[in-house]
Every structure is written in C-alpha cells, then in structure tokens.
Structure 1
Amino acid sequence: MSCTSAKECPSTSTVSVFTECFASPPEPRFHESQSSITAELLQDYLELLTTKNEATINSATPGVTTLFKDQNTVLFLFELCRHLGLTPDVQYRAVELFHRFMIGHIEELYSHVQSSAETSSPITWRDVEERLKHQVTLRAVSCVQLASKLSSHYHLVTLNRARVFLSKCGFRYAATSIVQSEVRVLKTIKFRVHNPTPLEFIETLLGALDSEDDSLPVMQLHGISLKLLDIFYLSRESIFTNFAKLIKSRNNTRPEEIEKLISVLCVDSMLLAAAIITSASLVIYEAIDTQWLISALCEAAGVESRDIIDYSLVLMQEVFSGDDSDT
C-alpha cells in the first residue's frame, strides 16, 4: 500500500527524531556532551554505587552469594535474553533478579514446610522440590520480563511474547498465571527491583575516566568489558576456585578465612568492574602501559591496586584457559 500524504507516512527525518527522543540508545554515549551526564553527576552516582557495594559486602553470607548463579542457570538466562533480542544489561539484571528471588523463595517455602509439620497434613520438602522444578522456567521468564521493563520502555518482553516462549518450551500457562508469577517475584524481592549490576559499575567507572581523559578508547574498553563480563558470569565458579588457590599460595590462610574472603569477592562489584576494565585495557595496550589506568581506577573506585591486578590476572587466566580448551 502506498502512502498518499506525509500524515499517513512519516518522513525518515521524523522517524529519526522520534527514535532519538524516545528510543533507548543501544550503547552508552560516552563522548556526546549533549546526551552524557556531567562529571559531577557521575561522581555522585559513583559514590552512591560505592555505598551500595559496601552494604552488599557487609551483608554477604558464605555459600549463599552465588547459590543461584551457576553456569547452567546463567547460560539459560543469557540464551533466553538473546533469543528475545534483549540488550546485555537485561541479561545481567535477569541473573541478579533470579538469584535474589530464588533465595527468598526457598526461604519462604522452607518456612512453610516447617510450619506445616505440626498440622494434620504436613508438607514434605520433596513435594516442594517437585513443584519448584516445574515452575523454575516460568520464574526465570518472569525475571527476564522484569529486567526488560527496567531497561527499555519500547522493547520489553510482553505477556504474549512470554507465553509464546513458554509454549515452545512445552509449558501451557494462561495469561493470568504468567502475570501472577511476575507479581510473586516482585513480592518475594519486596519490590526492590533496581539493584545495580556489575555492568552499571563498569559503565560508571568508564564514564568517570572518560570525563578526566577524553582520549581514552572508552568504546573499545566497553565492548571488550562486555565480553569479559560474560566470561565472568559463565565461569564464576572456576574463577573463584583459582582465586582461592592464589590466596592460599601467598599466605598461610585457613580454609574458613579463604571462604569468607571469596564470599566477599563474589559480591564486590566495584572491584570486579575495575578488574574487568583493567583486563580490557590489557587487550588494547601493553601491560606496562596500563599502570596509569590502574592508578586512575584505584582513585575512582577506592580499591587497592594489588587487588585489581590479582583479580585481573585470574580473569585473564580464565580467558586463556578457555582458548586452550577450544583448540
């Protein structure tokens, strides 16, 4: 059908204006002064992230911090997000939401089982596990739905898209069941949906560094950092196993102390972000040329250079070991 008027068929320039105004940008715009926030606001947000990061570290519980971030779970959520055409920030947020939900959900269910023990019809944990297995895909989709709504107002996972995906997986859920699942996730995490992801730390640090030195290849660093962050999420267990070996080789540290330290490293997003940016810089520069960047990261992130270097070495070790296994 041909368009007979400009009113019926908007011009390319009009579409461009609407896209510029209403569509979320596909990547951070570090060098654009009109669309970038000021250095002062970046510093304020960096301080806010630091405060939140410290609170997370202080509340870290050994053995729980990565309980529902195993490789299979992360891979499923990543593939689900990519199948639905979602941006990288959605997949990281979906993993964090799913992890928080499952911890809270398990606690609620366990309390329910405990309270039913004194009743005439007690509930067994085996029955609860069977129900969990059947519902876990639905819960994962609900977390992706929520993550997509936090990321974009025009490319979110609608109810129909969620139902179609679940149907392809062999699950027949009514629309009301999918909505109820999303509400259940929200209630379980007490409606605290916006917890900063490691990507937010990376992008904020890069923005802060870019505001100090606009010659920094910030878009290259950002692109490589995304790939390294994927590797971190998919190889978390291996990375922290190697980190524990590194700590043990340097100090005569007791196993329980190593476990406590690793539980802190698991949730220290600021240190992780600094280490990933450092690792990304090693891909671009010679190792000797990254010292200035590490110094800048120490000042911006408030972390020790030794910790950044150690973390970066373990990350790069995982990258190269992965390359070796492929060949």
Structure 2
Amino acid sequence: MAKRLLRSRERLSLKFGQASFELLGDFLINFNQKNKENLDSLSKCCGSFKLKPLLDCIFLICQELKLDPAVGYHATELLQRFMVKHLSDLLVTPETSAAAASEPRNLEDSIFDQLKEKFPLIVFSCVQLANKMSLNHHMIDTGTAVSFLHLLGLSVSKKTILESELMVFKGLEFKLIYPNPLTSVETLLEVLGHNDPSVPVKRLYHLCRHVLQFITLQKAAIYDSLLKVTTQRASPSKEQREKFVTVTEDCMLLGVGVIAVAVFILYIRKWEQVIGELSHITGISVKSISDFAHVTLAHIVGFLCPAE
C-alpha cells in the first residue's frame, strides 16, 4: 500500500520524459481502468460544466497565476463532478423541495440564487485543489488568492476561500484523482516513445499541448462533426446523440486523437506507423483514430483559413 502510494506521488511529480517504462506501464493500465469506470458511470449532466466560456475562465486563471495548463484540465474535471453532485444535493434540501411543491419555476430560481454569488469562488476552489494535487512548487497561498480575487471584483476573506475549498473537497467525497486529457496525452506519448524510439515525442509534446487546447475549446463543433462522420448522417437521431456521449468523454480516444493530429502536422511520413502503434497500445481501432484526426484537422484548417 505504502509502495503504491509512493509510486503514485512520484508519477504526479515527474516531468514529461522522466518516468521509467515500468512506472508508465502501471500508470497506463490504471488510467485506462479509471477511464472505463468514468465512462460506465456518466451522469445525464456530463459535459454541462465543460462549456467554452467556463473553460476559457479556468485557463485564464491558470495563465494569470502562472500555473501549469495541466491544472486547468484537472480543475475542469473537478468542477464538473462537484457541480453535478452539488446540484443534486440542492434538489433534495427542504427549502428547494418546498419551492418545487409550490411552483417548478421557484425551484430553478431558488437554486440559481444559491449558486450565482458563490459560483466564481467554486471555480477558483477547483483550480486551487487541482494545483495542490499537481504537487507543483508554485502554490497559491490564501493571501495571494484574496488579492487575485479582489482584482476580479470578488470581495472575499481568507476564511471564505478556505471554507469554499473545503466545501468542494467534501462535495467530491475527498476524491480528487480523475482521468484528464492532458495526462492521457502525456502518458501515451511516453509509452509511444519507449515502444518506437524513432518517433520524436519531445517535439510532438509541445504541439500536442496546443492541439489539445484547441480541441478542448472547440469541443462541441469537433465532436458534432465526428458524430456525423461516424453515423454517416447529416442529422443524427436523438438516440445516436445519446449513445455518442461516451465518445465525447473518452479521455483515451482524445489522447490518441491529439497525438495523431500532431504527427500528421509535423511528421506525416510516420502517420500510418504511429497510428498503428497507438491502436496497439490502446485497443482503439485505426479507423476511429484516423476519423478523429481528420475531423480535427479540418476544423484547424477552417479556423486558420475561414471561408469568406
């Protein structure tokens, strides 16, 4: 148990390219298991708190505080899970139940009133928790947090910040380790580099970060296009869209897709070789990886060269 805990902390603190192959293998197996568990237990609200405006906000907070982008991806996962749980809890409290009994609209108003004031602080608390979990030396103390939030127009005290962080921590049932797409990309790249040393993974790594951020911020449009390609229908049915939700939350598919796009851009001659190896590592079909990459590349081209 202690050995496993030590290994987990070691992996979190390692920089890209520093992990041993044995450690990578263990981590990949564990990540794949967690990813599958996540896909098997998706809620009807999955993705509701991963919309572009919220993601922009989280990434900007990380940028302003000079935090690693990995913190932003982790914070997004924490926010999604906490808010679904928090909203579920609010729906069964006596106050909201009474509002629902009198008029459904009152329930919505009551919940909105409870959340609108503290939601910005909840977002910041998720960033703080994610940063602490990263074992990064650049920690944000409560004094710095107060000053930063004041600049954003939020008048809060150190006590309020700590209480919000504790509320989120408890709401997540003290579980803070969840699959996130950047972890998937980094792990798969390192495994790819070990399996095929001819692939320049260190150069790919920097491009992969930009590709991942693009996909994350353009997620709705990219996955809508992928759904149409997968179903071969211009207007997929409601049932097809509902079944496709698991694809939109699959960190492993996103990870191989990001790497495939980066390889296509930088080393197209190795395209088929790398796609085959990624398929071998993850069990995801070559066609699925190729479809994801081609759809994403089309959106990148459209973004860089918009039609007049």
Matching residue of 1:196: 179
Matching residue of 2:237: 255
Matching residue of 1:107: 88
Which of the numbers 213, 216, 222 marks the counterpart of 1:239?
Answer: 222
1:299 is the counterpart of 2:299: no
C-alpha spacing 1:326/1:184, structure 2 compared with 1 (3 Å): farther
Deviation at 1:267, TM superposition (A): 1.3
Matching residue of 1:316: 297
CA distance in 2, matches of 1:279, 1:53: 21
Unaligned runs of 5+ in 2: 1-12
Which of the numbers 146, 158, 178 marks the counterpart of 2:141?
Answer: 158
- One-letter amino acid matched to 1:321: G
CA distance in 2, matches of 1:107, 1:292: 46
Matching residue of 1:11: none
CA distance in 1, matches of 2:19, 2:136: 20
Matching residue of 2:108: 125
Q: Which has the higher helix share?
A: 2
Matching residue of 2:36: 54
Deviation at 1:289, TM superposition (A): 2.9
Unaligned runs of 5+ in 1: 1-23, 31-35
Q: Is contact 2:228-2:235 (8 Å) kept?
A: no
Per the alignment, in what secondary structure is the counterpart of residue 305 of structure 2? Answer: helix
Q: Is contact 2:256-2:289 (8 Å) kept?
A: yes
Q: Which moved more, 1:272-281 or 1:153-162?
A: 153-162
Instruction: State the identity as a percent.
Output: 29
Matching residue of 2:69: 88
Q: Which moved more, 1:266-275 or 1:147-156?
A: 147-156
Q: Which runs of 4+ in 1 moved over 6 A?
A: none
Deviation at 1:195, TM superposition (A): 0.7
Matching residue of 2:117: 134
Matching residue of 1:16: none
Deviation at 1:326, TM superposition (A): 9.5
Per the alignment, in what secondary structure is the counterpart of residue 154 of structure 1? Answer: coil
Deviation at 1:322, TM superposition (A): 1.2
Matching residue of 1:76: 57
| Rg larger for | 1
CA distance in 2, matches of 1:117, 1:188: 23
CA distance in 2, matches of 1:61, 1:212: 36
Per-residue CA shift, 1:66-104, capped at 9, x if unaligned? 110000000011001100000111111111111111111
Per the alignment, in what secondary structure is the counterpart of residue 306 of structure 2? Answer: helix
CA distance in 2, matches of 1:164, 1:92: 24
Per-residue CA shift, 1:194-230, capped at 9, x if unaligned? 1121111111111111112223211111111100110
Q: Which moved more, 1:126-135 or 1:184-193?
A: 126-135
Higher RCO structure, 1 or 2 (CA under 8 Å, sep 6+): 1
C-alpha spacing 1:142/1:199, structure 2 compared with 1 (3 Å): same
Q: Which moved more, 1:85-94 or 1:43-52?
A: 43-52
**Mapping of 1:158-237 within 5 angstroms?**
158-237=141-220
CA distance in 2, matches of 1:267, 1:307: 15
Per the alignment, in what secondary structure is the counterpart of residue 325 of structure 1? Answer: coil
CA distance in 1, matches of 2:303, 2:264: 17
Q: Is contact 1:278-1:290 (8 Å) kept?
A: yes
CA RMSD in angstroms comes to 2.5
Count of paired positions:
294
Q: Which moved more, 1:68-77 or 1:231-240?
A: 231-240
CA distance in 2, matches of 1:37, 1:84: 27
Q: Which moved more, 1:65-74 or 1:158-167?
A: 158-167
